[in-house]
Amino acid sequence: MEVADGTPLKKSLARSLRKEKLRALALIAPLLIFVLVTFVLPIGTMLTRSIDNSIVEEILPRTVLALEDWNEKGDELPNEMVFRSFVEDFQDAIADKNHTKIGSRLNYEVSGMSSLFRKSARKVKKWDLTDNAPIKQKLIEVNKAWGDVETWAVIKTHSVALTNGYFLNAVDMQRTPFGAQAQPENKQVLVKLFIRTLKMSLIITGMCILLGYPVAWLLANLSNRTSNLLLILVLLPFWTSLLVRTSAWKVMLQNQGVINDLLVWIGLITDDSRLEIINNQFGTIVAMTHILLPFMILPMYSVMKTIPPSYLRAAKSLGATNWTAFWRVYFPQSVPGIGAGSILVFILAIGYYITPEIVGGTDGIFISNRIAYHISSSLNWGLASALGAILLGVVLILYWVYDKIVGIDNVKLG
C-alpha cells in the first residue's frame, strides 16, 4: 500500500506517529529519570558490586603482574621479583593511604590479613629501595606471614578484576587456588539462613492467608457501615510505627511479659516454666504475621467485594450445602485475591529486616539481617551485594513459577 505521493503507507504512518511518540516520551521523561535514578541505578550498582574486584589489581598492579608466572598450587614461595614488586606497590599504596583498603579486602577471605597489612605498613613505609638489596628476607623478617605460601596464594586467587568469589561465599563456598571449594563447616551459615528465610516466609504467608481470609470475607459481606469501621481497624496498624508495633510484641511475649503472666495466672504453666516465645522463630512468625496481615487482607477484600452474593444463592438454590457452595463457587472466585496477597506478603517477608532483628534472637533472623550486618558492620559490600542479588533472583524465579502455576493474570491487586 502506498500513499498519494508514492511513499509506502507503513513508512508514512510511522513518520506521522513519530512526533507524537516523541512528545509523549518528553512528557514522561521526568518520571523515567526518577525511576532510573532511584530504582534501576541502585540495583545495577548492587549487581556490579557483587562481581567487581578491580581493587586488588588497582592497588597492587605490579605484584599481580609478577605473580602471573608463580605457581600458587605448589609449595614454593614467589621469587625476589615478586617481593620487590609488592613492596613497591605497597609503598605507593601507603603513600595514597590505600593499604588498609586492600588489607580489609583480603581479610574477607582470610582473617588476619587486615592486621598483617596494617602492621607491616609501619616498617615498609621507610624502606629505601634504590640500593637494590634483596628484599624477600627483609619482608619475611617484618612478619612471618609473608613467608607463607597461602598469603601469596590468597593475593593471586583474588587478583582477578571480575570475581565469582562473593557469590561463592554467599552460598557457603570459597574461591581457592584449587577452584571452588566448600567453606569449613563452622562457617557454613548462609545457605541455612536462605532456607530458613524461605521457610519462615512461607509459614508467615500461610498464617496470613488463614487469618486474613475470614476477615476479608467479613469485610466484603458486612453492611457498609460496619465494614468501613472494620476496615479502619485493619488499616490502623499502618498509622503506628513499625518499631512500636514490633516492640509491643516484645512486651507481650517476653519471659516476664503479658502472655506469660496470663498463662501463669490462670495456672496453665508454672512460674518457673515460663514459655520461650520471643527471640526465636516463633516470635518472628507471630510478629511478622501481625505486621504483614493488612497486605493480605486488602487484596483479598478487593477481590471478594466484586463477587456478587447471588452466586452463593444460585449455588444453594441448585442444591449445594453452605459448605459446597462456598468451596465450589465462592472460593475459586476469591483465589486471585489470595494469590495477590500471597505474592505481596511473601515478597515483603523474604526481605524483611526490622522485625526479625528485634524479636528474632539468633535463630529467628532472616537473610536480610545478615546483609545488613555485612553492609554496616563487616563492610563486606561485595558479599552483601551477592546475597542481595541472590535474593532478587529467588524472588524473580518464584514469581515466574507462580506465573506458570497460577497465572499472573489471575492476580488482582485492587
Binding interface with another protein (CB under 8 A): 308, 310-311, 313-322, 324-325, 328-329, 332-333
How would you classify residue 319: left for phi > 0, otherwise alpha for psi between -120 and 50, otherwise beta? left
User: Could you tell me the CA-to-CA distances from 56 to 65, 70, 102, 161, 257 in Å, in that order?
Assistant: 11, 17, 7, 8, 52
Residue number with CB closer to another protein (54 or 321): 321
Residue number with CB closer to another protein (327 or 400): 327
What is 265-329 written as a DSSP string?
A: HTTSS-GGG----SSSHHHHHHHHHHHHHHHHHHHHHHHHTTS-THHHHHHHHTT--HHHIIIII
Q: How far is the CB of 314 from another protein (least distance, A)?
A: 4
83, 132 Cβ separation under 8 angstroms: no
CA angle 151, 156, 159 (to 5 degrees): 125
C-alpha cell at 360: 528474632
Residue number with CB closer to another protein (138 or 316): 316
Dist. CA 118–CA 105, nearest whole Å: 13
Q: How far is the CB of 111 from another protein (least distance, A)?
A: 59
Q: How far is the CB of 324 from another protein (least distance, A)?
A: 6
First to last CA, the chain: 44
Q: How far is the CB of 217 from another protein (least distance, A)?
A: 17
C-alpha cell at 188: 557454613
Dist. CA 254–CA 260, nearest whole Å: 7
Residue number with CB closer to another protein (134 or 308): 308
C-alpha cell at 180: 571452588
C-alpha cell at 24: 509523549
> Longest Cα pair distance anywhere in the chain, in angstroms?
104
Q: How far is the CB of 402 from another protein (least distance, A)?
A: 19
Residue number with CB closer to another protein (223 or 376): 223
Residue number with CB closer to another protein (235 or 314): 314
Q: How far is the CB of 226 from another protein (least distance, A)?
A: 16
147, 132 Cβ separation under 8 angstroms: no
Q: How far is the CB of 316 from another protein (least distance, A)?
A: 4
Residue 303, CB half-sphere, CA atoms under 13 Å: how many? 22
345, 208 Cβ separation under 8 angstroms: yes
Q: How far is the CB of 315 from another protein (least distance, A)?
A: 7
Q: How far is the CB of 328 from another protein (least distance, A)?
A: 7
Residue number with CB closer to another protein (22 or 318): 318
Residue number with CB closer to another protein (137 or 317): 317
